[in-house]
C-alpha cells in the first residue's frame, strides 16, 4: 500500500463532513490518510508459550498448539524469550507455516532464534536484535506473507538442560 503524505493526516472538521456538504479532494485525502494510519497500526500478535519447567521440551513439534490466521496477514516481527536459563545447552525454537489444506510446514526462518544457558535471566531477542549469548531470528523474507486460514506452529529444535523455565515465541502481524 502506498503511503499517504503525512501532510494529509489530521482531524476531519465537522463542517467538512456534515450532511449534504460538498467533500473536497483535500478532505477525501485526509480521510484516506486517517484510515491508512488506523489500518497500518492494526497490528496484532500471537504468543506461543512454554510455561513452568521446560527442560523436557526436546524436539517437540506444535508446542502450545497451532494458530490459524483469521485473515491474510504479513508477519513482520518475531520475539523469543526465556525467563530462567538452564545449566547447559541452547534453546532453539522454530516457527513453521502451512498453507491451508496442505499440512506441509516450512520454517519462516533462515536463522532460528536461540538462547544459550549463559544468557542473562529474562532474556529476549527479536529480528534484528543483538543480545549477548543469543542468536537473533532472521526471517526468510520481510515480511512473511500468509493467507487466511494458513496455520503456524512452534517447534522446539533444542532445549537447555537443567531447569530452564518459561520460554516461547511471539509473532507480530498485521492484516494485508
For the chain, the average pLDDT equals 86
Q: Stretch 156-165: mean pLDDT, rounded?
A: 94
Q: Stretch 163-170: mean pLDDT, rounded?
A: 94
Q: Stretch 11-16: mean pLDDT, rounded?
A: 56
- Ranges of beta strands (E only) in 11-140 are 44-53, 63-68, 73-84, 90-98, 106-107, 109-111, 114-116, 123-126, 134-135, 138-139
**C-alpha distance across the termini of the chain, in Å:** 9
Task: Indicate the pLDDT class of residue 41, thresholds 50, 70 and 90.
Answer: low
pLDDT tens for 86-102 read 999 999 999 999 999 99
What is the Cα–Cα distance from 164 to 115, expressed in whole angstroms? 11
User: How distant is the alpha carbon of residue 104 from its chain centre?
Assistant: 20
Q: Residue 39: is its pLDDT beyond 70?
A: no
Domain edges within the chain: 6-40, 44-175
**Picking from 10-19, 91-100, 116-125, 162-171, which range would have the lowest pLDDT averaged per residue?**
10-19
Query: How high is the pLDDT of residue 36?
Result: 72
The CATH number of the structural domain formed by 44-175 is: 2.60.120
pLDDT tens for 43-61 read 889 999 998 888 777 778 8
Residue 63 neighbours by CB under 8 Å, 6+ apart: 48, 50, 57, 153, 154, 155, 156
Instruction: Determine contact, residues 60/156, Cβ cutoff 8 Å.
Output: yes
What is the Cα–Cα distance from 40 to 44, expressed in whole angstroms? 11
Amino acid at each position: 500500500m502506498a503511503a499517504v503524505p503525512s501532510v494529509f493526516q489530521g482531524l476531519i472538521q465537522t463542517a467538512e463532513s456534515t450532511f449534504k456538504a460538498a467533500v473536497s479532494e483535500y478532505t477525501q485525502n485526509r480521510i484516506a490518510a486517517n484510515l491508512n494510519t488506523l489500518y497500518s497500526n492494526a497490528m496484532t500478535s500471537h504468543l506461543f508459550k512454554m510455561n513452568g519447567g521446560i527442560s523436557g521440551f526436546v524436539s517437540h513439534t506444535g508446542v502450545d498448539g497451532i494458530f490459524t490466521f483469521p485473515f491474510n496477514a504479513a508477519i513482520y516481527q518475531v520475539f523469543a524469550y526465556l525467563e530462567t536459563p538452564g545449566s547447559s545447552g541452547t534453546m532453539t525454537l522454530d516457527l513453521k507455516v502451512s498453507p491451508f489444506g496442505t499440512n506441509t510446514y516450512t520454517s519462516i526462518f533462515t536463522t532460528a532464534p536461540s538462547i544459550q544457558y549463559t544468557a542473562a535471566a529474562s532474556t529476549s531477542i527479536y529480528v534484528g536484535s543483538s543480545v549477548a549469548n543469543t542468536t537473533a531470528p532472521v526471517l526468510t523474507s520481510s515480511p512473511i506473507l500468509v493467507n487466511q486460514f494458513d496455520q503456524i506452529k512452534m517447534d522446539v529444535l533444542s532445549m537447555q538442560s537443567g531447569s530452564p523455565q518459561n520460554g516461547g515465541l511471539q509473532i507480530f502481524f498485521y492484516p494485508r
